[in-house]
Amino acid sequence: MVDSVLTLKFLISLVVIGALLAGSVRLMFRRNRFGPLFVTLVVLGGGYFLFDQIRSDTSDVAVFNEVREDSVIRHLKIRKVELERGTYTFKESILIEEEETIREILKDLSGLDLKREYDKDPGGADYVLDLLISNPKDNLMETGTIHITVGKDYINDYKIVTEKDHLKTLKELEDREDLVWEKD
C-alpha cells in the first residue's frame, strides 16, 4: 500500500490541491462572497480525488463479485496472449471443465490487493480467462461469462499490489503433458 500512496502522481495532486486550497482561503479572507464556496469545493473535490488515488480493492470485490458459493461453474477457457504491434493476439487456448482445477485457479486469483489504474498502457497480460458460470436467481439460473485479463502485474485494469504467486496454477497447467493446448 505504501508504494501506491507515495507515487509521484499522488504527490503532485497533493501539491496542486494544497495550492488551490490556499488560493481559496485567501479569497475568503479578502471578504470575497465566493471564497467560502471555493474552499468547500476544493476540500470536497480534492478530498475525493486524493481518496480515490489511495483506495485499493481486493480481487474478490473488483473481479469476482459474480462468483458465489452457490455458483455453478460450467467451464473455463484459458487463452495465452501476446502483445504484437499494440494489439493482443491469441496464441494457444485450452478448455478446462474440471471444477477442482477451476476453483484452484480462482483461489490463486482471489484475495489480491488491487489498485485501479485509469491510464494503464497496453501490455502486461499473459492470459485471458473466460469463465462460464450460472447463478441461481429466484427459480431460474442466470448464465453468463466473466472475462478476466491476467498478467504478472495486472488483473483487468487493476495493478496488483499484493506479493503472491497468483499465476501458480496457470503455469502448472502449461507444464502438464496430459493437457493439449490448441493453436489459435
Residues 122 and 45 in one domain: no
Residues 41 and 65 in one domain: no
| Grid cell digits, residue 147 | 472475462
Residue 176 has pLDDT above 60, yes or no: yes
Residue 65 has pLDDT above 70, yes or no: no
Last residue of a domain, one of 39, 55, 71: 55
Residues 65 and 150 in one domain: yes
CATH number, domain with residue 101: 2.60.40
Query: How far is the C-alpha of 62 from the C-alpha of 85, rounded, in Å?
Result: 29
Percent of the chain with pLDDT over 70: 83
pLDDT in tens, 6-53: 466 667 777 888 888 888 788 777 777 777 877 888 888 877 776 666
Scanning the structure block, which residue is given the C-alpha cell 490463486?
A: 108
Amino acid 77: pLDDT: 94
Amino acid 79: pLDDT: 93
Q: Number of folded domains in the chain? A: 2
**Do residues 134 and 74 touch, judged by C-beta distance below 8 A?**
yes
Scanning the structure block, which residue is given the C-alpha cell 499484493?
A: 162
Residues 48 and 82 in one domain: no
Stronger pLDDT, 150 or 87, i.e. the higher one: 150
Query: How far is the C-alpha of 150 from the C-alpha of 108, rounded, in Å?
Result: 12
Range of the domain at 10: 2-55
Confidence of residue 1 (pLDDT cuts 50, 70, 90): very low
H or E segment and range at residue 74: strand 72-84
Confidence of residue 134 (pLDDT cuts 50, 70, 90): confident
Residues 124 and 162 in one domain: yes
| Residues contacting 141, CB < 8 A, separation 6+ | 72, 134, 135
Residues 72 and 115 in one domain: yes
Phi, psi (degrees; rounded to nearest 5) at 73? -90, 115
Q: What is the pTM of this model?
A: 0.65
Query: How far is the C-alpha of 27 from the C-alpha of 41, rounded, in Å?
Result: 13
pLDDT in tens, 144-174: 888 888 888 888 877 887 788 888 888 888 8
